[in-house]
Amino acid sequence: MNIKENIKTLVIKKPLKLDCGKTINNFPLAYETYGSLNKNKDNAILVFHALTGDQFVTGINPVTKKDGWWSYAVGPNKSIDTNKYFVICANVIGGCMGSFGPSHKNPDTNKIYGTDFPVITINDMVNAQVNLLDHFEIKKLFSVVGGSMGGMQVLQFISNYPDKASTVVPIACTSSHSAQNIAFNELGRQAIASDHNWSDGKYLSNNTLPDKGLSVARMAAHITYLSKKGLQEKFGRKLQERDALKFGFDADFQIESYLRYQGSVFVDRFDANSYLYITRAMDYFDLVKQFDGNLSNAFKKTKAKFFVISFTSDWLYPTQENKDIVIALNAIGADVGFVEIKSDKGHDSFLLDVPDFLKTLKNFLDKSYIKR
């Protein structure tokens, strides 16, 4: 991937010891901000992105020229109101939108890292992003918010930095990746690795791209983001620009064509090795184990106010997994609210136009902001 213009980057000089044992320093962290920081510096919200997201939360993404991934929720007068709040979002390390990742050159060898890039974890991602608080001289964030892998970062952040946020909003996430979650991620990784162009991760040096493998990975993952009902209603058995089955292996059905399209546009904006690294980080995420089998211990030190949101049709991170977080918080008398939003849009509900969700998120943030 080319180095892109319009990307703000903070070079982190402070050494960061990764969970794998390696230490990195002088590494870039790409970020974007929306709205403005007030005088007291108490209106900042750190938004964490999901697996294939980036720092361009809202407005037009200057790289893809498409709407930011959370345009429904973030912007002037929206749920996360940029007239009111200062929104910061960073590309995770391991990512491919400017932050230190496998497509970067190793300064020691002058070669692209590829799979020589250290394996990173959700914990490492969060520990890299906390440097943004120092950069903006923010003592305490008003909120940390994120869905899916973003929600995992939210949970990790508040357990690492219990005093650094007043409110905590994990959405459609889990405290520990399940066997099913790992299985789907492994499917994606194997799709990439079995593409000859992947070349053991050295494709950038060879000037080839494992587009086929990456697009299959995206297609498989995309199915997990939607619900059976949602798919059935949108596509059913409708045929793609034809009146009858063709008795071949072209995309006869609309759903096939749709998935192929999703796969093909994805490879233009995402790096295959980043996909391997980030899915690995998600699989390694187990906050329960980090706290010796008791999730409550992860939150014991914080006085923050939590609000957990799940969706009825999300089978990737189902309500019960979100509720386990609520149960762990109630067990220690923490301040926690919880709602399951009714939606047929599956795991992706948090990214889409789901009015009950958008309204509830806004109400929680705005009411908490008045009372802070």
Partner 1 sequence: MKTEYKIIVDLIEEKTRVLDVGCDDGTLMESLKKNKNVDARGIEISKDKVQTCVSKGLTVIEGNAELDLKQFPNDSFDYVVLGQTLQAFINPEIVIKELLRVGKKAIITIPNFGHWKVRLNLLIKGTMPITESLPNDWYNTPNIHMCTIKDFVKFSKILNFKIFKSLALTNKNISNINNFNLFYKNLFAELGIFLIEK
**Residue 141 binds partner 1 (CB under 8 A):** no
**Residue 338 binds partner 1 (CB under 8 A):** yes
Which tokens in the block code for residue 275?
Answer: 């996909």
For residue 326, the one-letter residue type is V
Which listed range, 53-61, 129-137, 280-288, 332-340, lies at the site for partner 1 (CB under 8 A)?
A: 332-340
Q: Where are the beta strands (DSSP E) in the chain?
A: 8-12, 16-17, 23-24, 27-34, 44-48, 74-75, 80-81, 86-90, 105-106, 111-112, 141-147, 165-171, 305-311, 335-341
Please identify which residue in 25, 26, 180, 363 interacts with partner 1, judged by CB under 8 A: 363
Nearest CB to partner 1, comparing residues 297 and 330: 330
**Residue 78 binds partner 1 (CB under 8 A):** no
Q: How far is the CB of 231 from partner 1 (least distance, A)?
A: 24
Transcribe 208-247 into DSSP letters: ---HHHHHHHHHHHHHHHS-HHHHHHHTTT-BSS-SS--S
Which listed range, 66-74, 161-169, 273-281, 330-338, lies at the site for partner 1 (CB under 8 A)?
A: 330-338
- From the CB of residue 327, how many other CB atoms can be counted at a distance below 10 Å? 14
**Residue 370 binds partner 1 (CB under 8 A):** yes
Q: Which residues contact 246 (CB under 8 A, 6 or more apart)?
A: 252
Q: How far is the CB of 171 from partner 1 (least distance, A)?
A: 14
- Give the CA distances from residue 107 to residues 24, 66, 225, 330, in Å, rounded to whole numbers and listed in that order: 12, 33, 38, 48
Which listed range, 48-56, 174-182, 282-290, 328-336, lies at the site for partner 1 (CB under 8 A)?
A: 328-336
**Residue 320 binds partner 1 (CB under 8 A):** no
Please identify which residue in 149, 214, 336, 354 interacts with partner 1, judged by CB under 8 A: 336
Q: Which residues contact 318 (CB under 8 A, 6 or more apart)?
A: 310
Active site members: 148, 314, 347
- From the CB of residue 358, how many other CB atoms can be counted at a distance below 10 Å? 18
- Could you say which residues in the range 279-318 bind partner 1, by CB under 8 A? 305, 307
Q: What does the binding site for partner 1 look like in residue numbers (CB under 8 A)?
A: 305, 307, 326-327, 330-333, 335-342, 356, 359-360, 363-364, 367-368, 370-371
